[in-house]
C-alpha cells in the first residue's frame, strides 16, 4: 500500500493562486513530492506560474531554499582547517571573472570551492571556457576536490548531481514554462546550490543591464537583497555587488579567447574592466572570509595568483602552457568612417558568439572552443575608417552571416564629441552586512 501523502498538490496550487501563504510543512512536502515524482510536472508548472505572478514571502523563500538543499547532499569543508569563500555571478556576456578570481583569492590561503556549470544560450559557462585547455578535466570526485583545495587552495569543477537535485528538476521545468524570471525561484535556486556546496562565505555578482538576466537594476537589487538574506539566514557570510552588463566585459566573448584574456589578467595586464571587477570581488571574498586588507593587486602583478592558476590547471590534468585552439575561419568587421565608437550592446554580441558556435542551444550540444568574438575597440574609443572593430571566429564560415545579423545595429560610430553609450560605473552598488 502507498504511504498516505501529507497534502494535496491542488490545494497548495489554489492557495498560491489566491495569494495565500504556504506553510513550512507544505513547502517541504511539495519539494520532496515533486523530486520523487509524486507531484506531476503539470502541477508544478501551475505552482511556479502562481509563484511567478504572486510572489513568496521571505519565510516561504527560505523554506523553499532549505527544502531544495535537503533534497540532496550537503558538502562540508570544515576538515580543511581554513576558511572557504566562493563567488556566484548571475551571468553576463564576456564574463570570465571566475577564472582569474579563483587563483587570486586562493593564493591568500583561503580555500575557494568553485562549483560551476556549462553554458546554455548566450551566456557562456565557466566549464566550457576551461575545457578549451588541452587535457583539463571538469569532473572531480569529492575526494579529489577536497585534496585540491588542501594542496592548491582552489578548484573550479562541475557541480555533482548530488547537490540540490530538486533544483535541477525544477529549473528544467521553469525553462520550458516561462517561469525562470521569478525572483523567489531564482534566489532559492542559486542559493540552495551555493549553501549545499558548503562555503563559509559567498559574494554574489548580480548583473543588470541589457546583457543581464534581469535587465532592470531595481529587480537586480531585489534579487541581490533576497539572496544576501538567504545566505545570512543559513549562516553563510554573504554580500553582493550590483554590476553593469550593458557593454560586454573585456575584449573577448567565447571560450578559448576568454581563457587567453584571463591569463593576461593573471599576468598583471588585461582589460581594465576585467581587472577592476576581479580585484573588487577578490577583496569582498577575502574580507568575508576574515582576511582584511589583502593587497590583491600585488598578487596579480607579482605572479602569485598566476602560480596558483598554473597549479590548479595541472592538478586537473591540463597543461597551462599548451596552445589554445584557434578557429579555422575569421571575419573582420572594420569601421566605415572616422569617429568614435558610441555604442556596443552586450546582448547582441553574446548572441552572435553563441551563433558562431561558442555556446549551445540544447544542453547535450558540444561547444566549439575556438569560436567567438574578439573586440578591438570599446565605447569611447576613437576609430579611423578601415580600422578593425571586431573579429568573428568560427570553424564553419556559414555561421558568419547569422552572427553578423545578430550584431547589426548593436554598435555605432558617431562624430568626434558625440555622447557615448552611458554604461554607468561598472560596480554600481554593494549590498551586504
CA gap 235, 336 in Å, rounded: 56
**Min CB(242)–ligand URA separation in Å:** 16
What is d(CA 265, CA 306) in angstroms, rounded to the nearest whole number? 9
Q: Among 23, 120, 171, 324, indicate the residue that binds ligand URA (CB under 6 A).
A: 171
Given the residues 16, 87, 96, 174, the one annotated as active site = 174
CA distance 58 to 133: 42
Strands (E), 304-371: 329-334, 339-344
Nearer to ligand URA, 64 or 311 (CB): 64
Do you know the residue count of the chain?
433
Q: Does 190 bind ligand URA (CB under 6 A)?
A: yes
CB of 186 to ligand URA, least distance (A): 4
Nearer of residues 48 and 421 to ligand URA, judged by Cβ: 48
Give the strand order in the sheet containing 411-414. Answer: 382-383, 339-344, 411-414
Min CB(86)–ligand URA separation in Å? 14
The whole-angstrom separation of Cα 343 and Cα 85 is 36
Cβ atoms within 10 Å of 302's Cβ, excluding its own? 12
35: cell is 523530486
Task: Find the shortest distance in angstroms from Cβ 88 to ligand URA.
Answer: 8
Q: Give the Cα separation of 195 and 115 in Å (integer).
A: 11
Choose the catalytic residue: 28, 95, 167, 273.
Answer: 167
183-196 vs 41-54: helix axis angle to the nearest 10? 110
CB of 174 to ligand URA, least distance (A): 7
- Which cell goes with 336? 566605415
Other Cβ atoms within 10 Å of 236 Cβ, number: 22
Q: Cell 515524482: give the residue.
A: 37
- β-pair type (339-344, 329-334): unpaired
Cell of 164: 540540490
Confirm if 414 and 335 have CB atoms less than 8 A apart: no
Nearer of residues 38 and 171 to ligand URA, judged by Cβ: 171
> 133, 324 in Cβ contact below 8 A?
yes
Q: How far is CA 354 from the centre of its chain?
A: 16
Active site residue 88: yes
Position of minimal CB gap to ligand URA: 189
Block residue for cell numbers 506553510: 23
Contact string 120-159 vs ligand URA (x = CB under 6 A): ----------------------------------------
| Rama region for 211: left / alpha / beta (φ>0; ψ in -120 to 50; rest) | alpha
Residue 87 is among the residues annotated as catalytic for this protein = no
Strand partners, 330: 393
Query: Considering only residues 189, 199, 243, 262, which one is a binding residue for ligand URA as defined by CB under 6 A?
Result: 189
> Is 336 annotated as catalytic?
no
> Beta 112-116 vs 154-158: how paired, if at all?
parallel
Minimum distance, C-beta of residue 126 to ligand URA, in the bound complex (Å): 13
The answer to whether residue 71 forms part of the interface with ligand URA (CB under 6 A) is no
Stretch that binds ligand URA, among 61-69, 103-111, 180-188, 322-330 (CB under 6 A): 180-188
Stretch near ligand URA under the rule CB under 6 A, chosen from 53-61, 136-144, 186-194, 415-423: 186-194
Nearest to ligand URA of 186, 340 (CB atom): 186
Phi, psi angles (nearest 5°) of residue 238: -130, 140
Q: Given the complex with ligand URA, which of 212 and 353 has the nearer CB atom?
A: 212
Q: How far apart are CA 287 and CA 96, in angstroms?
A: 22
Which residue, 190 or 196, has its beta carbon nearer to ligand URA? Answer: 190
Q: Which residues lie across from 87 on neighbouring strands? A: 203
Is 167 catalytic? The answer is yes
Q: Minimum distance from CB of 65 to ligand URA (Å)?
A: 12
Catalytic residue among 71, 89, 189, 210: 189
d(CA 328, CA 357): 12
Residue 362 CB, nearest approach to ligand URA (Å): 17
Only one of the segments 14-22, 178-186, 246-254, 265-273 lies at the binding site for ligand URA (rule: CB under 6 A); that segment is 178-186
Is 186 a residue that touches ligand URA (CB under 6 A)?
yes
Given the rule CB under 6 A, which of 141-149, 183-191, 204-212, 390-398 is the region that contacts ligand URA? 183-191
Closer CB to ligand URA, residue 192 or residue 255? 192
Size of interface with ligand URA, in residues (CB under 6 A) = 6
Which stretch, 35-43, 185-193, 204-212, 294-302, contacts ligand URA (CB under 6 A)? 185-193
Active site (catalytic) residues: 88, 167, 174, 189, 193
Site residues (CB under 6 A) for ligand URA?
Answer: 171, 180, 185-186, 189-190
Amino acid at each position: 500500500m502507498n504511504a498516505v501523502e501529507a497534502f494535496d498538490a491542488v490545494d497548495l496550487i489554489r492557495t498560491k493562486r489566491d495569494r495565500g501563504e504556504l506553510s513550512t510543512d507544505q513547502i517541504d512536502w511539495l519539494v520532496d513530492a515533486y523530486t520523487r515524482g509524486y507531484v506531476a510536472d503539470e502541477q508544478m508548472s501551475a505552482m511556479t506560474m502562481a509563484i511567478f505572478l504572486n510572489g513568496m514571502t521571505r519565510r516561504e523563500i527560505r523554506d523553499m531554499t532549505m527544502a531544495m538543499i535537503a533534497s540532496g547532499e550537503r558538502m562540508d569543508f570544515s576538515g580543511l582547517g581554513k576558511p572557504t569563500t566562493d563567488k556566484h555571478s548571475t551571468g553576463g556576456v564576456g564574463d570570465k571573472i571566475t577564472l582569474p578570481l579563483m587563483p587570486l583569492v586562493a593564493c591568500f590561503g583561503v580555500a575557494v570551492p568553485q562549483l560551476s556549470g556549462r553554458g546554455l544560450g548566450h551566456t557562456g559557462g565557466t566549464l566550457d571556457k576551461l575545457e578549451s585547455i588541452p587535457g583539463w578535466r571538469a569532473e572531480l570526485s569529492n575526494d579529489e576536490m577536497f585534496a585540491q583545495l588542501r594542496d592548491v587552495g582552489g578548484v573550479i569543477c562541475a557541480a555533482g548531481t548530488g547537490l540540490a537535485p530538486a533544483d535541477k528538476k525544477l529549473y528544467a521545468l521553469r525553462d520550458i514554462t516561462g517561469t525562470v524570471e521569478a525572483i523567489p525561484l531564482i534566489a532559492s535556486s542559486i542559493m540552495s546550490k551555493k549553501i549545499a556546496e558548503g562555503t563559509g562565505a559567498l559574494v554574489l555578482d548580480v548583473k543588470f543591464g541589457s546583457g543581464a538576466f534581469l535587465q532592470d537594476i531595481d529587480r537586480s537589487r531585489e534579487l541581490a537583497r533576497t539572496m544576501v538574506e538567504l545566505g545570512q539566514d543559513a549562516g553563510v557570510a554573504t554580500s553582493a555587488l550590483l554590476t553593469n552588463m550593458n557593454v560586454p566585459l573585456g575584449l573577448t566573448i567565447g571560450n578559448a579567447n576568454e581563457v587567453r584574456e584571463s591569463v593576461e589578467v593573471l599576468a598583471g595586464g588585461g582589460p581594465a574592466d576585467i581587472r577592476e571587477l576581479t580585484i573588487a570581488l577578490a577583496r569582498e571574498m577575502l574580507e568575508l572570509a576574515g582576511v582584511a586588507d589583502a593587497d590583491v593587486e600585488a598578487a596579480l602583478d607579482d605572479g602569485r595568483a598566476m602560480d596558483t592558476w598554473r597549479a590548479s590547471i595541472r592538478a586537473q590534468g591540463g597543461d597551462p602552457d599548451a596552445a589554445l585552439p584557434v578557429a579555422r575561419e575569421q571575419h573582420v568587421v572594420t569601421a566605415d568612417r572616422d569617429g568614435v565608437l558610441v555604442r556596443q550592446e552586450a546582448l547582441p554580441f553574446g548572441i552572435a558568439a553563441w551563433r558562431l558556435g561558442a555556446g549551445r542551444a540544447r544542453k547535450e550540444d558540444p561547444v566549439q572552443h575556438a569560436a567567438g568574438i574578439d573586440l578591438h575597440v570599446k565605447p569611447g574609443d576613437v576609430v579611423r575608417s578601415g580600422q578593425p572593430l571586431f573579429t568573428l571566429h568560427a570553424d564553419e564560415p556559414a555561421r558568419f552571416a547569422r552572427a553578423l545579423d545578430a550584431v547589426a545595429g548593436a554598435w555605432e560610430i558617431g562624430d568626434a564629441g558625440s555622447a557615448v553609450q552611458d554604461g554607468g560605473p561598472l560596480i554600481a552598488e554593494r549590498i551586504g552586512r
